[in-house]
Amino acid sequence: MKTEIIHKIVLNSSNELLLLLSSPGEPMYQYVYREAAGVYWDDKQKGFKSTPLKNWTVSEWFIHIKDIVRTSLNVDLQVDENLQWENIPDTEQIKLKDLI
């Protein structure tokens, strides 16, 4: 299983959660959409993203993205020790830190 490092977690202006990687990723990452699970590869930003958040929290989407990437691409997403946050509410940061 390949490991990728998440260096930044972002909630963008479209209300999508992005898990941005330290590496440029792999061409095969684009096929994660085939799972029809609301998870996509953003080649421009080099990360996995969700559909716009509606019923799920940031932490729920984080777990979902990690699970889908692991099962469909055989890639384990780990967080960088110097993880950066952008527009993530404090309450969700606390939840995520407990999950990581």
pLDDT of res. 5: 97
Count structural domains, the chain.
1
Position 90 scores a pLDDT of 92
Report pLDDT for 97.
85
Write down the pLDDT at residue 54: 93
Length of the chain equals 100
Residue 81, domain CATH: 2.20.20.40
- Residue 24: how many CA atoms within 13 Å on its side-chain side? 1
pTM: 0.94
Low-confidence ranges of the chain (pLDDT < 50): none
What pLDDT score was predicted for residue 57? 94
For residue 28, what are the domain limits? 2-99
- Residue 1: what pLDDT? 93
Residue 9: partners with Cβ closer than 8 Å, 6 or more residues away = 17, 18, 19, 20, 58, 62, 79, 83, 84, 85, 86, 88, 96
Cβ atoms of 67 and 39 within 8 Å: the answer is no
pLDDT of residue 31: 94
Check residue 99 and give its pLDDT: 80
Residue type for position 35 = E
pLDDT of 53 reads: 94
